[in-house]
């Protein structure tokens, strides 16, 4: 194979994994849009319908490390295609789900399959693009598909649901999935470690799965149950207990599902910490924007979706640009600038009020996404650079896990802070205000104004807090020092 042909093939491989990543993330956003119709069709409560999303998040978090290990063990192409195929089957089944239990089962199947994408796709790109600068560019372009999916979900989902019903958001995955599978069969080369696996860490996988399930569940439902309720307390106990057992198992087994030696690599830990803080701030902030737009600015769901279009454009523009900085600027400086710009974007949300226009949301989203975007490739590339090539799948699954958990943690944290701050503001503003009228209409207006000001001030407080948190993450990354590992062979067929 000529050098030019091999180079063209590499970019076809990139395009192939982008289709898989885009489809998986698109499904998450588009299904959330369909939830009201599903709830109405099944005649269930909103709380019950919420389990459709919760079940997906739980299953996805549990199986990410398992797929990462399997990809390094039996072959990344095999695992990628297997995951893609099961995802298509799960999508079709979900499209024909007849009640809530069947929908939850089929969504779990989708989530299990979808969790194979991130660790295997990143590992495939890491072994396909071996040269550092080219690899960083490829990872940057691939990363932009995450933002694209988050925006195109609402834009595509609205017309699909309105014209063809909610089942179409699942069935649309079939033709796209078939194309993606055929491309994977044609273009992706098989790769796996030369180190032969003789043992699979099932007990490690089970204990990690239980701990992660408890963590995601309490983050998702803790606000409804009460953070100090008996159910939440039992879940905290399960998180700590099973995580302790998991760590003890990983110290002893010959081939752990998560190699704890990763956490002895300062660059690995520092980059994971930056990812956790950045994604916590970003996801926590983004979660609140549509709520603010609909509650205080009077936008409907589709109009709220349009507000995120500049965000997708910024991310898709910045991610490849950040990849091109590889080798020219140290990774820590790129990640610092990226994170700090994202913090500035989040800070600008603190100026929102009920009189704000759409640009007051779109411009900060653009700034935040641009900041996130041009550092995304560097964040991902550091992880791929500091671990042995035969463990890239496992390392990338840890990165995916951190990003998923940080998003759930950010949403839970900021939603809780928002509620507590609103209650505090109501008491504070009310203590400083005086109403002399006893007219019921005046009392109602007074109460509404106090609540409105309390809520708006609470949003401002949360956005300022999120921006400070992300800025701290920016400065922390300046201690990052990357030393690439060499000398381990990866078998490519």
Yes or no: say if 170 and 95 are a contact pair by the CB < 8 Å rule. Answer: yes
Beta-carbon neighbour count of residue 197 at 10 Å?
A: 16
Tens of pLDDT, residue by residue over 400-409, are: 778 778 877 8
pLDDT at position 197 is 58
Query: Helices 359-386 and 266-295: crossing angle, nearest 10°?
Result: 160
pLDDT in tens, the chain (493 residues): 555 555 667 888 888 888 888 887 777 777 777 877 888 888 887 667 778 877 887 787 778 777 777 777 777 888 888 888 899 999 999 999 999 899 999 998 998 888 887 778 877 887 787 766 677 777 777 777 776 776 677 677 777 887 888 898 899 888 888 888 888 888 887 766 555 556 677 888 888 888 888 887 888 788 778 888 999 999 999 999 999 999 999 888 887 877 788 888 888 888 888 888 888 887 777 778 877 887 788 887 667 777 878 887 888 788 778 777 777 788 888 889 989 999 999 999 999 888 889 999 999 999 998 888 888 777 777 877 777 766 777 777 787 778 778 877 887 788 888 888 888 878 777 776 666 666 676 667 667 676 778 888 888 888 998 899 889 888 888 887 766 554 433 333 3
Residue with tokens 């490829």: 138
- Is the Cβ–Cβ distance between 110 and 214 less than 8 Å? no
Give the CA angle between residues 376, 84, 383 to the nearest 5°.
25
pLDDT at 244: 93
Cα(107)–Cα(404) distance, integer angstroms: 17
CB 287 within 8 A of CB 349: no
d(Cα 325, Cα 420) in Å, to the nearest integer? Answer: 42
Output the pTM of the full model.
0.75
Tens-digit pLDDT profile for residues 56-69: 877 877 787 777 77
């Amino acid at each position: 194979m000529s050098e030019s042909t091999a180079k063209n093939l590499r970019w076809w491989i990139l395009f192939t994994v982008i289709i898989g990543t885009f489809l998986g993330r698109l499904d998450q956003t588009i299904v959330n849009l369909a939830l009201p119709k599903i709830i109405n069709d099944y005649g269930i409560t909103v709380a019950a319908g919420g389990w459709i999303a919760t079940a997906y998040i739980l299953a996805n978090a549990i199986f990410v490390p398992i797929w990462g290990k399997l990809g390094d063990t039996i072959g990344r192409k095999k695992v990628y295609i297997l995951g893609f195929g099961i995802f298509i089957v799960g999508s079709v089944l979900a499209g024909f789900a007849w009640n809530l239990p069947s929908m939850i089962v089929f969504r779990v199947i989708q989530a299990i399959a979808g969790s194979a994408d991130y660790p295997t796709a990143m590992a495939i790109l890491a072994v396909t693009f071996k040269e550092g600068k080219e690899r960083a560019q490829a990872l940057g372009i691939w990363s932009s598909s995450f933002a694209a999916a988050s925006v195109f979900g609402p834009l595509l989902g609205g017309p699909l649901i309105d014209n063809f019903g909610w089942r179409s958001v699942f069935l649309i995955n079939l033709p796209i999935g078939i194309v993606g599978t055929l491309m994977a069969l044609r273009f992706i080369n098989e790769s796996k470690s030369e180190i032969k696996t003789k043992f699979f860490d099932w007990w490690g996988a089970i204990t990690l799965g239980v701990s992660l399930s408890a963590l995601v569940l309490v983050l998702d439902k803790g606000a409804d149950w009460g953070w100090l309720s008996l159910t939440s307390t039992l879940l905290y106990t399960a998180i700590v207990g099973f995580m302790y057992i998991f760590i003890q198992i990983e110290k002893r087994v010959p081939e752990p599902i998560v190699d704890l030696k990763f956490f002895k690599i300062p660059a690995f830990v520092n980059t994971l910490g930056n990812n956790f803080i950045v994604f916590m701030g970003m996801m926590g902030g983004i979660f609140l924007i549509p709520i603010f737009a609909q509650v205080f600015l009077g936008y409907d769901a589709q109009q709220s979706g349009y507000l995120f279009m500049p965000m997708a454009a910024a991310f898709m523009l910045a991610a490849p640009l950040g990849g091109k900085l590889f080798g020219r600027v140290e990774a820590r400086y790129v990640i610092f600038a990226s994170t700090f710009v994202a913090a500035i974007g989040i800070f600008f949300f603190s100026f929102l009020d009920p009189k704000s226009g759409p640009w007051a949301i779109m411009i900060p989203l653009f700034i935040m996404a641009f900041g996130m975007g041009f550092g995304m490739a560097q964040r991902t590339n550091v992880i791929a650079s500091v671990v042995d090539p035969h463990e890239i799948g496992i390392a990338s699954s840890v990165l995916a896990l951190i990003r998923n958990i940080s998003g759930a943690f950010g949403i839970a944290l900021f939603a809780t802070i928002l509620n507590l701050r609103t209650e505090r503001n109501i008491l504070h503003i009310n203590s400083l205000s005086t109403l002399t009228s006893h007219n019921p209409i005046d009392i109602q207006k007074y109460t509404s104004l106090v609540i409105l000001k309390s809520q708006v001030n609470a949003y401002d407080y949360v956005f300022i807090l999120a921006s400070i948190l992300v800025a701290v993450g920016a400065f922390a990354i300046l201690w990052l020092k990357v030393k690439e590992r060499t000398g381990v062979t990866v078998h490519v067929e």
